[in-house]
């Protein structure tokens, strides 16, 4: 009997049951999906780091490391393994593509993961182990021959295998390119034997066997202790980077942290609304079922059985919503975490398995227990007293006259306004839930569309304005002279720069020295406006300024790695940059006595002369193409946020609208009896919805701004973006929220045509 009643009751309140299941499933789906994303990324990156022996530290020296230096590093207590390592960017012959040539003496340290072909052979005289992503994009197969050019040298090899490498987990040539573009850039591993054959032609500046300018080290030591041990072993100051300071590891872990941050914001919003909707709706349903509960009690059903029956509604909703939500979560996780997804475009991993954090299952159990408890408490309240008490219809608590109602201003209001105000104060929980749903919708809309505005402004500022050149020519700073730089720069009608790694307060940063005569490189101040460089001081990026507490007029001291010299510069201003850097003009650098050699020329010319001093070139279009991919992914995220906002507002507003209609059924019947037409009653229902919509919008606009500001700081601080939200974003967010609210109001208002006035007025209140 109670089983049949269960299905009849579900059919009677199907709109409320469906909306609650949808809200629970959305909340659980977003919660599981977002937490699955970062946890799976953490597990899958750990896999490739472990499989390839990703190094904990990297030691750099411009003069290279000898075999004896390597043995000294291996002898340090706490070092488990080490390998000399080399990487240089070479051009693909007869093409504009660039491949990073990598050589590791010990493939167990920062090695490769084979996906196709022969295993890596350290003795191969002509073998290439090529990035499988680059091979797929450029139609290169195992057995094909590739020819690379570096300076004036040509290197030809056979592709023996296709691989992935943790050192190139995020495969970008430099900081100006945010997204990998395997159409034009990849990597290739050579054997040390093959490198030995080309040493005389390439590495004329190296002494003996010191051609490797990098040592990769596996060690559990803390960085400070490790650096001290290295300097003591080699008797000189060197640039040492931990894995946290490498692009592959830091960016991958940055994505994990971003996922954790997102997993603590959107899921909380959805779950909060879902649970609050459940609390409010279950109370209203049990209140509407009070007469049925009294009837069951009068027929002899024990309170415990009635409790189990009605509690099963909440349990069924929780379980159905959770199961559906887990499915949605897996779909969301797979959508983000698959090799063809947004993450797959950015990170190159061999494994894309999905994992759910253990705490998700604990929280899902807790949610279902909590939802069941809500149903239990709602019914238990209705069972108080005798069967006769339970048979009486539910009566809302009496509404006291508010002080507001005694004011002259309130008395001058029209009937509709008074009626709606009283209803809002009488049903505070429903009113707050409606307001909360609208605010949530506005936060998602303003956040999603504002993110799009911010990214567009970022592209326009950095890539359309600051990067004013068409071609970047990379030079061999080891062999080129100052006169040759001036001659080549004049021939290309370009500007040039020199960059080196320096130590600032025990942290590595880039020192960039510019000679600007053609305006091909521009700089942005903190307000993202053009800022000419002065010859009277240096400029630091916003991140350094914030973390070090420095501002214009202060001084800072830095030391080039591999040198005992230190320089103190006056800070002339703060700029926004894609990398942590100190920027100055060549005039100011000469004033400080800094020894530098240009390594890059920026030009609009495409007629680049043949020169042994030119390593390779990179077009601005290649940089823009990679960022275009980034923007496409951003558009997908914005679309998802807009869809989530619309679904959220539709479900919440419709559910609460139906609840409002049910609670005011008798009042609307009374209005119809005294002569109110259906259109007038519909206007009363819609106007209250619109009032709450206006209030939600007023709260949601600054809330959306605040949430987006927090996300930019937490998720994208390395890009030094400035928050930008255009008027169109505010307008679209407001109009879309209004349209959804109005649409829901119209759907609910149509129901007043079917009010049974006689049946409604016969009930006791």
Question: How confident is the model over 138-176, as pLDDT tens digits?
Answer: 999 999 998 888 766 788 889 999 999 999 998 887 766
Closest listed residue to residue 654, CA positions, set 429, 396, 438: 438
111 sits in which H/E element: none
pLDDT at 633: 63
Q: Of the ranges 302-311, 437-446, 495-504, which one carries the lowest mean pLDDT score?
A: 302-311
Contact 511, 501 (CB under 8 A): yes
Closest listed residue to residue 497, CA positions, set 596, 572, 588: 596
Average pLDDT over residues 115-119: 92
For residue 717, is pLDDT > 60? no
For residue 757, is pLDDT > 60? no
The radius of gyration of the chain's CA atoms, rounded to the nearest angstrom, is 34
Q: What are phi and psi of 687, to 5 degrees?
A: -65, -35
Neighbour tally for 383: CB within 10 Å:
20
Give the span between the Cα atoms of 76 and 556, in whole angstroms.
33
Which pLDDT band holds residue 114 (cuts at 50, 70, 90)? very high
Average pLDDT over residues 66-89: 90
Which residues lie below 8 Å from residue 27, measured CB to CB, with a gap of 6+? Answer: 267, 270, 271, 272, 273, 274, 275, 321, 325
Give the span between the Cα atoms of 627 and 463, in whole angstroms.
9
Which residues lie below 8 Å from residue 311, measured CB to CB, with a gap of 6+? Answer: 372, 375, 376, 379
Which pLDDT band holds residue 634 (cuts at 50, 70, 90)? low
Question: How confident is the model over 290-320, as pLDDT tens digits?
Answer: 677 777 777 777 777 777 777 887 888 888 8
Question: How confident is the model over 47-62, as pLDDT tens digits?
Answer: 999 999 999 999 988 7
pLDDT at 207: 41
- Stronger pLDDT, 523 or 646, i.e. the higher one: 523
- Stronger pLDDT, 634 or 470, i.e. the higher one: 470
Give the span between the Cα atoms of 154 and 490, in whole angstroms.
28
Which pLDDT band holds residue 228 (cuts at 50, 70, 90)? confident
Burial (CB count within 10 angstroms: exposed 0-12, middle 13-18, buried 19+), residue 366: exposed
Q: Of the ranges 55-69, 481-495, 552-566, which one carries the lowest mean pLDDT score?
A: 552-566
pLDDT at 133: 92
pLDDT at 351: 92
What DSSP state is assigned to residue 466? Answer: I
Residue-averaged pLDDT of the chain: 80
Which pLDDT band holds residue 113 (cuts at 50, 70, 90)? very high
239 sits in which H/E element: strand 239-242
Q: What are phi and psi of 114, to 5 degrees?
A: -75, 130
**CB-based contacts of 301-305 (< 8 A; 24+ apart in sequence):** 303/383, 305/2
For residue 437, is pLDDT > 80? no
Which pLDDT band holds residue 206 (cuts at 50, 70, 90)? very low
Q: Above pLDDT 70, what percent of the chain?
A: 80
Closest listed residue to residue 289, CA positions, set 656, 9, 11: 9
Residue 28's SS3 state is helix
Give the span between the Cα atoms of 365 and 192, in whole angstroms.
56
What b/e string do you get for 175-200 counting C-beta neighbours within 10 Å, with b at 16 or more?
A: ebbbbbbbebbbbbbbbbebbeebee
Contact 376, 314 (CB under 8 A): yes
Which pLDDT band holds residue 454 (cuts at 50, 70, 90)? confident
Give the span between the Cα atoms of 575 and 641, in whole angstroms.
32
Which pLDDT band holds residue 118 (cuts at 50, 70, 90)? very high
pLDDT at 458: 77
What DSSP state is assigned to residue 184? Answer: T
Residue in this structure with the two tokens 């100055």, named with its chain if needed: 584
pLDDT at 663: 66
Neighbour tally for 763: CB within 10 Å:
14
Q: What are phi and psi of 212, to 5 degrees?
A: -80, 120
pLDDT at 468: 82
Average pLDDT over residues 186-191: 92
Residue 238's SS3 state is coil
Neighbour tally for 23: CB within 10 Å:
28
Which pLDDT band holds residue 116 (cuts at 50, 70, 90)? very high
Give the span between the Cα atoms of 756 and 667, in whole angstroms.
12
Average pLDDT over residues 620-626: 70
Nearest-5° Cα angle at 256, 255 to 260: 115
Give the span between the Cα atoms of 228 and 236, in whole angstroms.
10
Helix axes 678-715, 247-263, angle to 10 degrees: 150
Residue 356's SS3 state is coil
Nearest-5° Cα angle at 163, 352 to 632: 50
pLDDT at 661: 67
Q: Of the ranges 199-203, 309-313, 492-496, which one carries the lowest mean pLDDT score?
A: 199-203
Contact 514, 586 (CB under 8 A): yes
Closest listed residue to residue 553, CA positions, set 567, 570, 569: 570
Question: How confident is the model over 680-706, as pLDDT tens digits?
Answer: 766 667 777 778 888 888 988 888 888
């Amino acid at each position: 009997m109670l089983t049949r009643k269960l299905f009849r009751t579900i059919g009677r309140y199907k709109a409320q049951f469906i909306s609650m299941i949808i809200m629970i499933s959305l909340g659980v789906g977003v919660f599981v999906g977002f937490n699955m994303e970062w946890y799976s990324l953490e597990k899958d990156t750990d896999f490739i780091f472990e499989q390839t022996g990703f190094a904990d530290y990297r030691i750099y020296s411009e003069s290279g490391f000898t075999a004896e230096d390597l043995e000294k590093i291996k002898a340090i207590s706490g070092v488990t393994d080490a390998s000399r390592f080399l990487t240089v960017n070479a051009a693909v012959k007869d093409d504009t593509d660039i491949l990073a040539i990598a050589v590791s003496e010990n493939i167990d340290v920062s090695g490769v993961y084979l996906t196709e072909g022969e295993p890596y052979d350290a003795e191969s005289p002509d073998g290439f182990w090529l990035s499988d992503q680059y091979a797929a994009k450029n139609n290169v197969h195992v057995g094909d021959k590739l020819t690379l050019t570096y300076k004036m040298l040509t290197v030809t090899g056979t592709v023996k295998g296709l691989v992935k490498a943790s050192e190139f987990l995020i495969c970008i040539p430099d900081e100006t390119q945010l997204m990998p573009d395997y159409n034009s850039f990849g990597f290739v591993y050579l054997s040390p034997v093959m490198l030995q054959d080309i040493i005389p032609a390439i590495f004329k500046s190296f002494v003996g066997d010191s051609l490797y300018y990098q040592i990769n080290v596996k060690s559990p030591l803390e960085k400070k202790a490790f650096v001290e041990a290295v300097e003591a072993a080699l008797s000189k100051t060197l640039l040492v980077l931990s894995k946290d300071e490498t692009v592959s590891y830091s960016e991958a872990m940055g994505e994990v942290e971003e996922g954790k941050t997102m997993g603590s914001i959107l899921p909380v919003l959805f779950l909060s609304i879902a649970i609050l909707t459940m609390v409010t709706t279950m109370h209203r349903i049990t209140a509407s079922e009070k007469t049925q509960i009294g009837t069951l009690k009068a027929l002899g059903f024990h309170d415990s059985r009635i409790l189990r029956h009605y509690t099963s509604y909440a349990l069924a909703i929780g379980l159905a919503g959770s199961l559906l939500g887990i499915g949605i979560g897996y779909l969301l996780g797979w959508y983000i975490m698959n090799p063809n997804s947004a993450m797959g475009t950015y990170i190159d991993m061999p494994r894309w398995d999905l994992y759910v954090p253990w705490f998700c299952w604990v929280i899902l159990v807790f949610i279902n227990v909590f939802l069941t408890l809500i149903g239990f408490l709602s019914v238990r309240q209705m069972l108080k007293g005798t069967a006769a008490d339970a048979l009486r219809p539910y009566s809302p608590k009496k509404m006291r006259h508010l002080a507001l109602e005694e004011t002259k201003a309130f008395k001058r209001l029209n009937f509709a306004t008074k009626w709606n105000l009283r209803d809002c104060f009488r049903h505070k929980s429903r009113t707050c839930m409606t307001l909360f749903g609208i605010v949530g919708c506005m936060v998602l809309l303003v956040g999603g569309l504002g993110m799009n505005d911010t990214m567009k402004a970022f592209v326009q500022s950095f890539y359309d304005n600051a990067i004013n050149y068409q071609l970047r020519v990379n030079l061999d700073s080891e062999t080129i002279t100052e006169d040759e730089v001036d001659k080549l720069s004049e021939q290309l009608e370009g500007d040039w720069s020199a960059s080196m790694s320096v130590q600032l307060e025990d942290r590595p940063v880039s020192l960039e020295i510019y000679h600007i005569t053609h305006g091909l490189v521009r700089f942005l101040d903190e307000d993202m406006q053009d800022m000419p460089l002065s010859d009277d001081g240096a400029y630091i990026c916003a991140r350094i300024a914030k973390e070090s507490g420095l501002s214009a007029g202060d001084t800072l001291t830095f030391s080039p790695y591999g040198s005992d010299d230190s320089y103190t510069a006056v800070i002339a201003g703060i700029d926004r940059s894609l990398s942590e850097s100190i920027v100055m003009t060549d005039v100011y650098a000469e004033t400080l006595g800094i020894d530098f050699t240009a390594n890059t020329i920026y030009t609009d010319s495409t007629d680049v002369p043949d020169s042994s001093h030119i390593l390779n070139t990179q077009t601005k279009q290649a940089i823009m193409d990679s960022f275009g991919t980034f923007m496409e992914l951003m558009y997908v995220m914005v679309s998802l946020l807009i869809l989530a906002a619309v679904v959220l507002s539709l479900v919440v507003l419709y559910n609460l609208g139906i609840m409002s209609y049910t609670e005011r059924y008798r009042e609307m019947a009374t209005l119809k009896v005294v002569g109110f037409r259906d259109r007038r009653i519909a206007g009363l229902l819609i106007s209250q919805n619109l009032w709450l919509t206006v209030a939600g919008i007023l709260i949601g606009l600054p809330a959306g701004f605040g949430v987006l500001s927090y996300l930019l700081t937490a998720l994208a601080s390395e890009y030094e973006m400035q928050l930008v939200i255009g008027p169109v974003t505010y307008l679209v967010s407001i109009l879309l929220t209004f349209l959804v609210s109005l649409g829901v109001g119209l759907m609910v208002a149509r129901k007043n045509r079917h009010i049974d006035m006689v049946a409604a007025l016969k009930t006791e209140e």
